[in-house]
Amino acid sequence: MIVRIVSASAEITRGIGTALGKVAEGPLAFLLVGDYGTGKTTLVQGIAAGLGVTEVVRSPSYNILKRYDSGRLILVHADLYRTQSDPDIEELGILDILSAKGILAVEWPGRYLPPARELPCVTVNFSYPAGQKVSGALESRRNLEFCCGDGCPERIMEVLRALAAR
């Protein structure tokens, strides 16, 4: 199933994430694909809020991986932009984290994340609307395309359909 949603602001993107976090059950992977500044971390902040995470969620660009334990489920937020190979990913211990039945949100999943692709998975593609100037008045608008794979929880799909219908 593919659901397309246009977000007009960071607050709306965060709200989409919050709605998803409230119904998310693990294990579940969110694979986040898009250019810098398109809203990947903002969506994860919302997912964290929906899970009840109390820590401040920031992009793990330099840490590569950040784990949040204060919500109703473990949330692991990873940024794999700087990883180079499968062994780099294995050293992060993602397989161990996935066995904890938590939520995995991965920015820049690339080709190096086969274990997450075996989980129930939602791939989110972020882009700017066609013709939009990033420095223009509409720069906060984003297209979010959610692709739900096999095993994607029905509650996630229901939330996405409801959000797209607004």
* Residue range 49-70, pLDDT digits in tens: 999 999 999 887 666 789 999 9
Q: What does the longest C-alpha to C-alpha distance in the chain come to?
A: 44
Cis ω for the linkage preceding 60 (within 30 of 0): no
- The residue extents of the domains of the chain are 2-165
Only one residue has tokens 């129930």, namely: 120
Q: For residue 10, is pLDDT > 50?
A: yes
Q: State the pTM of this model.
A: 0.88
The superfamily CATH assigns to domain 2-165 is: P-loop containing nucleotide triphosphate hydrolases (3.40.50.300)
User: Parallel, antiparallel, or unpaired for β 103-107 and 65-68?
Assistant: unpaired
Q: Which helix or strand (DSSP H or E) is residue 51 part of?
A: helix 40-51
pLDDT per residue as tens digits for the range 128-163: 887 665 555 446 789 999 999 778 899 999 999 999
